[in-house]
Amino acid sequence: MSFSQDVKKELAGVLPKARHCALAELDALVLFAGEGKTLDDGSQVLRLNTENRHVAIKFFTLLRKTFNIRADVVVRRSSKTGAISYGLLAKSPELIAVRKASLQAGCCKRAFIRGAYLASGSISDPNKSYHFEVVCETPEIATRLQKAINSFEMDGKIVERKGSYVVYLKEGAQIVDMLGVMEGHISLMALENVRILKEMRNTVNRKVNCETANLSKTVSAAVRQMEDIRFLEERLGIDNLPEGLREIAAVRLEYPEASLKELGEMLAEPLGKSGVNHRLRKISELADKMRKS
pLDDT tens for residues 181-199? 999 999 999 999 988 888 8
Which CATH number does the domain 3-183 belong to among 3.10.20.30, 3.40.50.1100, 3.10.28.10, 3.40.50.720? 3.10.28.10
Q: Which residue did the predictor score with more confidence, 106 or 212?
A: 106
CATH 3.10.28.10 in the chain is located at 3-183
Cα–Cα distances (Å) from 115 to 62, 64, 176, 188, in that order, read 11, 16, 17, 17
* Residues 168 and 155: beta-carbon distance below 8 Å: no
pLDDT tens for residues 227-247? 988 988 888 888 888 888 989
Angle (nearest 5°) at CA 213 between 212 and 216: 85
Which pLDDT belongs to residue 88?
Answer: 87
The dihedral formed by the CA atoms of 103, 184, 158 and 50, expressed in degrees to the nearest 10 = -90
pLDDT tens for residues 110-135? 999 999 999 999 999 998 999 999 99
pTM of the full predicted structure? 0.71
Which pLDDT belongs to residue 41?
Answer: 78
Which pLDDT belongs to residue 160?
Answer: 95
- Whether pLDDT at 209 is above 90: no
Residue 25's nearest CA partner among 115, 98, 117 is 115
Residue 142's nearest CA partner among 116, 176, 108, 173 is 116
Confidence of residue 19 (pLDDT cuts 50, 70, 90): very high
Q: What is the mean pLDDT of residues 249-265?
A: 87
Cα(154)–Cα(252) distance, integer angstroms = 59
Q: How many Cβ atoms sit within 10 Å of the Cβ of residue 6?
A: 15
Q: How many Cβ atoms sit within 10 Å of the Cβ of residue 272?
A: 12
